[in-house]
Amino acid sequence: MNSSLPLAVNDLTVAWHRKPVIWDVDIEVQPGQLVGVVGPNGAGKSTLLKAIMDLVPKASGRVEIFGQSYRQSRHRVGYVPQRESVDWDFPISVLDVVTMGLYGKIGWCLPVRRKHRDIALRALEQVGMSDLANRQISQLSGGQQQRTFLARALVQDADLYLMDEPFAAVDAATEKAIVEILRDMRKAGKTAIVIHHDLPTVPEYFDAVVLLNMRVVACGPTKDVFTRENLERTYGGRLTLLDEATEAMRRRERTL
Amino acid sequence: MSVLLLLTLFTAGFQISDFRLPAPLLAVAESLTNRSIAWPEWEQWKRVLLVQDYNTRVVMTGTGLLGMAAGLVGSFTLLRRRALMGDALSHATLPGVGLAFLLAPYLGLDGKSLSVLLTGAALSGILGVVAILYIRNLTRLKEDAALAIVLSVFFGAGIAILTIVQQVPSGHAAGLESFIYGKTASMIASDAQLIATAGLLSMIIIALLYKELTLLCFDEGFAGARGYPVFFLDLLLMALVVIVTIIGLQAVGLVLMIALLVIPAAAARFWTHDLKRMMLISSGIGGGGGLAGSAMSAVFPNLPSGAMIVIVCSCLFFLSLLFGRSRGVLVRIARRWDLNRSVDRQHLLRGMYELLEAREPETGSGAIGMPFSQLLAMRTWSSFRLLRQIERCRRAGLLVRHDNARLSLTEAGLAEASRLVHEHRLWELYLITQADVAPARVDQAADTIEHVLEPELIVQLEELLAQQRMSCGVVASPHPTIEQGRMP
Amino acid sequence: MSGLENWSWAYDGWIVLAGMLCAVAASLPGNFLLLRRMSLLGDAISHAILPGLAVAFFVSESRSSWPMFLGAVIVGILTALFTEWIRNFGDVDEGASMGVVFTTLFAIGLVLIVQAADHVDLDPGCVLYGAIEMTPLDTLNVAGQPIPRVVIVLGAVTLVNLLFVVLFFKELKLSAFDPALATSVGFSARLMHYLLMVIVAVTAVASFETAGNILVVAMFVVPPATAFLLTERLGVMIFCSAIIAMLSAGLGHLSAVFLPHAFGFQSTSTSGMMALCAGMLFFVASLVSPRNGVIVRIVRRQKLALRILSEDLIALLYRMDERARDSAVSPQKLSAVLRSHTWLAAWLMNRHVRTGHVIPSESGYRLTEAGRQLGSVLVRSHRLWEQYLVSEGGVAVDRIHGQAEKLEHFTNRELRDRLDEITAAPATDPHGSRIPSEHK
């Protein structure tokens, strides 16, 4: 129990239909760091974030956020899901989406008030979208959708942010804006765990990295861990036999 | 729905300035509610069961064929995840029935003839298809909304038109309301012929386009990329649904028609993974449901026939859900038990082997007895579970029980145990050397996988780990086993 | 034969009011059914409550409303539960499991109703008779005024639904838009789902008593769907759906009373016509909705096609001009090269003449300086794209023209500059034509 650690993951295994998706993950994240999670497709990066937030059942292991379970420290965690996870035809405005981050604080049945809208507007200003606050979400570009999600996470005023590929398919301006915001967060002592795809920018953006391929290949400060050798171990040599065996296991389980 | 229809008919009746119930409506009400159920005589049973009545024979042939055709078409719509499309299309046929009756005299046709009515039904069903496609493709709304809109609006229009039909002198006698909740008793030979023709037509279409339709249901994108006209195949599938629906109107009624399209196919899914077999089973269940349901309503003439057919089909569905051979609930529970049992057996044998190994590094004979308590302490299993497993292994000739609560492996048991331990340790080695799993945890990790190891995987493992292999055939454990670490 | 003699405000007014209340009550939760893509659940639940009514009837041996109401609501919720169970245990897809559940329940309900009519000593259509008493003739005295019971019941349900939507507005919104976030900030998406199911079942049962489920099923879906096409704001959408619901109820009853007279019949089913009117309103909205209407989109597409053609004309003149300066081109040749109608090309060229891009002359059209400027920009975009496709995209030279032809109309200054930068400011395109320069 260390209440100063934003995130401590112990021995975490997640299985879908008993096929392990991530396996035996141990991570400790220091406060005030930007942490990149890097790994090939299907390495279980999104699953790791979802398991941290109890959105998928854990097969085993323990997750502690500031020394408490996720349920207890839910208000200190902000989540930025992948853009594709929601229906962008939904009839609401950008401001509506951003205020959603405050619903937990507002509580059951109480309406959204002016002060909440002001908070949301400030967050939109931060991501450079204040002029689009009343735009309908169906009219946003990919980068703008991502910034909207980021603003929603910002209003949650969390201490630990979990972001699922915020840089995926966004324009250069958005990428720059997101990086700026991440740095501001770090200055404010917040921690962010970011799933990232673009390897060359990792040393520039992140203080620490987690190299993930079903299991944690390496984890630590970027300058120590983000080495060619570790990357080869992450991206190269897939565990073919393990894949085969888990596949066989899944086939068997599916008939159960 | 009949009740609902009557409700509306009554409200409509009330708006006519005097609040008297129109006579024809009263008669409809009686036909629905004035039914007494009496246990039939043996004679009556015999007549139905031996299909002595000409009328019963006609009805049963008709409903049986209908069920078979619906089961076939339903298999495709189910696999295309469009199960409820039939619901919308069957409701969409109602305005056509009413309009056909009203307009037929102007075209010089007989409004009461079934073929005229069903032509109307087919036309408005096709209009329903067009409406669904319009909403789905040209607006932002999704499929479910398209189905629900077509269903409710067409049905509303149908009710409005049927209310008007009631006011035509010959309107009540036409018995159009039977299209809503079904009335098999009125079926005559020509109707059964019509059902047979339409059913045969849909079967031929399915037989001819079997592989195209299969491809459409399985992978629409691929079919499109290969140049198949996906849109027209889709349209064809909907046309098949319309065909089956209109011939089912008379037997089960439009509200329950969807049941015949969905239930047999969903039930067949529990029995097989093979599409052809699934379609056979599905049409069998549909046909059986039709036969049994109409037989029952022949024995108990006052039970609504459509509802009986559906209830028989749902009973078959729940039986399939429980007992289905490939995906039924019981089979899956049994398989899980089986797996757990074989896992337990492997654990027991491996535990005994490891104890043996700790006792005597030169694993020569398995004949040394080991105490039950020691085995019990090796894993978190209850003594009941362990005892049951021991008993099972003893019966299989893998181990021997001595009277002083000690156990020993037989020759066969030892061979089996050493094979299991060998495999387990191969995995451990693989995980340590290739997957960076810490030695302290590797035992548990290998445990989750090894129970499904197939022979070819073992061969690959062995090749991969050739250098670590021990000459005796069983690799040494890569982590401390009993003597240092886990000795109780 | 106007049918006016059949209309009485004292009587029909109540019917319209009851219809409107029913429509509004259903359309309020219907918005969220639509957004959660569960539109058919309203239909399923309103069919499935039949056995609930029948069983309650058996148990209480009366046709008092409360047991029936309770029984139907319970069965309504069970429908949602059973659907989920069959989907989970049997691994059956959602639509199919819904189909199995509601048809089975409805069939059982039909059989039970027949029995009920028999066991309890009642005149023909006991269940129906109860319903008849609930039409405008069955009144309760409220503050000395006789008010139809149905209106009171539906008014109460409308109020409950309104409260539900207002109180849980943000919870419903969040759990429909992003269930994962809803659950992770502490509003269980499952709980909201079942609350919504209860509301749907209550609405279905209350409306079942009066208007039959035709009306309620239509009102669950059609007004919200219409509103969805008209607006992109959730609050406005809900408000619109209520207005549309009322409108279709009013129009529905009017047309039920008056429309059949035009054909020499008496009035027809009100709820059927209400559903039909809602459908008509939906159809109209789908055609003329300001942003997504079919007609609007056709017009927009035509306008774009015209803009492209008119730009193509200028680009063509520019290319001709490149070959022979100040050459005049006849409209026939222009339309032949671009494969367009002559009259269309002539009309567009007239527009260009008016905007000063082109001067007409005896032998055809010539570009002005402004026209040459516009043409050079278009041709520059076109050739830059060709260069980009070849050098960056590795596309074969013979296939680039078509793509560049499309892209050139959507290329602004910034994009051109970036293309120029990426392709290292080439002087000629892959075909060897000169790329016109642009003032920095």
Average pLDDT over residues A16-28: 75
Q: Which residues of A touch B445 (CB under 8 A)?
A: 23-24
What's the longest Cα–Cα distance across chain C? 101
Q: Which residues of A touch C232 (CB under 8 A)?
A: 91-93, 136, 138
* Ranges in chain B annotated CATH 1.10.10.10: 333-486
Nearest-CB residue to C99 (from B83, B145, B321): B83
- CA distances to B61, B75, B181, B209, B430 from B224, in Å: 39, 21, 39, 16, 44
> Residues near A118 by Cβ (< 8 Å), separated by ≥ 6?
none
Nearest Cα of chain A lies from the Cα of B125 at a distance, in angstroms, of 30
pLDDT at B274 exceeding the cut of 70 = yes
Residue B483's pLDDT is: 43
Least confident of B200-209, C30-39, C119-128: C119-128
Residue C129's pLDDT is: 29
Instruction: Give the domain ranges of chain C.
Output: 4-284, 297-367
Spatial distance between the Cα atoms of A64 and A7, rounded to a whole number of angstroms: 6
The beta-strand segments (E) located in C169-214 are none
DSSP helix/strand/coil, A219: strand
Spatial distance between the Cα atoms of C377 and C413, rounded to a whole number of angstroms: 9
Q: Which residues of A touch C236 (CB under 8 A)?
A: 91
pLDDT at A210 exceeding the cut of 80 = yes
**Could you tell me which CATH number the domain at B333-486 has?**
1.10.10.10
Per-residue confidence band for B11, with pLDDT thresholds at 50, 70 and 90: very low
Average pLDDT over residues A16-33: 79
Q: Do C187 and A103 touch (CB under 8 A)?
A: yes
DSSP string, B328-373: -HHHHHHHHHHHHHHHHHHHHHHHHHHHHHHH-SS---S-S-EEHH
Least confident of B195-199, C41-45, C51-55, C170-174: C51-55
Among B287, B306, B307, B305, which Cα is nearest to B297's?
B305
Residue C367's pLDDT is: 84
B 228-257 residues with CB below 8 A of C?
A: 255-256
Pick C297-367's CATH classification: 1.10.10.10, 2.60.40.1080, 3.30.230.10, 3.30.750.24.
1.10.10.10
Instruction: Give the domain ranges of chain A.
Output: 7-254
pLDDT at B30 exceeding the cut of 60 = no
Per-residue confidence band for B367, with pLDDT thresholds at 50, 70 and 90: low
Spatial distance between the Cα atoms of B355 and B12, rounded to a whole number of angstroms: 86
Q: Burial of B212 by CB count in 10 Å (0-12 exposed, 13-18 middle, 19+ buried)? A: middle
pLDDT at A4 exceeding the cut of 50 = yes
**Could you tell me which CATH number the domain at B40-327 has?**
1.10.3470.10
Question: What confidence tens digit (pLDDT) does each residue in B164-197 have?
Answer: 887 887 766 567 777 777 777 677 788 888 888 8
Whether C390 has its CB under 8 Å from any CB of chain A: the answer is no
Pick A7-254's CATH classification: 3.90.1580.10, 3.40.50.300, 3.90.1300.10, 3.30.420.40.
3.40.50.300
pLDDT at C1 exceeding the cut of 70 = no
At residue C368, what is the residue type?
A: T
CA C320 to chain centre: 48
- CA distances to B37, C58, C116, C126 from C121, in Å: 14, 12, 9, 9
Work out the percent of chain B whose per-residue pLDDT is above 90. Answer: 18
Q: Do B314 and C208 touch (CB under 8 A)?
A: no
Question: What confidence tens digit (pLDDT) does each residue in A97-128 have?
Answer: 898 888 888 887 788 889 999 999 999 998 88
Higher-pLDDT residue of B45 and B387 is B387
Per-residue confidence band for C110, with pLDDT thresholds at 50, 70 and 90: confident
Residue B60's pLDDT is: 86
Per-residue confidence band for C276, with pLDDT thresholds at 50, 70 and 90: very high
pLDDT at B10 exceeding the cut of 50 = no
Q: What are phi and psi of A245, to 5 degrees?
A: -65, -45
Average pLDDT over residues B15-22: 30
Residue with tokens 């854990």: A58
Question: What interface predicted TM-score (ipTM) does this complex get?
Answer: 0.84
Higher-pLDDT residue of C227 and C65 is C227
Question: What confidence tens digit (pLDDT) does each residue in C152-185 have?
Answer: 888 999 999 999 999 999 899 998 998 888 887 7
- CA distances to A8, A185, A190, A193, B22 from A31, in Å: 11, 11, 7, 11, 81
Spatial distance between the Cα atoms of C79 and C90, rounded to a whole number of angstroms: 16
Per-residue confidence band for B353, with pLDDT thresholds at 50, 70 and 90: confident
- CA distances to A94, B58, B261 from B245, in Å: 46, 19, 9
**Could you tell me which CATH number the domain at C4-284 has?**
1.10.3470.10
Q: Is the dihedral of CA B33, B37, B43, B49 positive or negative?
A: positive
Per-residue confidence band for C117, with pLDDT thresholds at 50, 70 and 90: low
Q: Which residues of B touch C86 (CB under 8 A)?
A: 321
Nearest-CB residue to A256 (from B336, B437, B449): B336
Whether A217 has its CB under 8 Å from any CB of chain B: the answer is yes
Least confident of A201-210, B333-342, C40-49, C204-213: C204-213
Residue A251's pLDDT is: 64
The DSSP code for C92 is: -
Q: Which residues partner with B85 through β-bridges?
A: none
Average pLDDT over residues B471-488: 52
pLDDT at C190 exceeding the cut of 80 = yes
Among B94, B111, B245, B88, which Cα is nearest to B162's?
B94
DSSP helix/strand/coil, C38: coil
pLDDT at B46 exceeding the cut of 50 = yes
Spatial distance between the Cα atoms of C17 and C155, rounded to a whole number of angstroms: 9
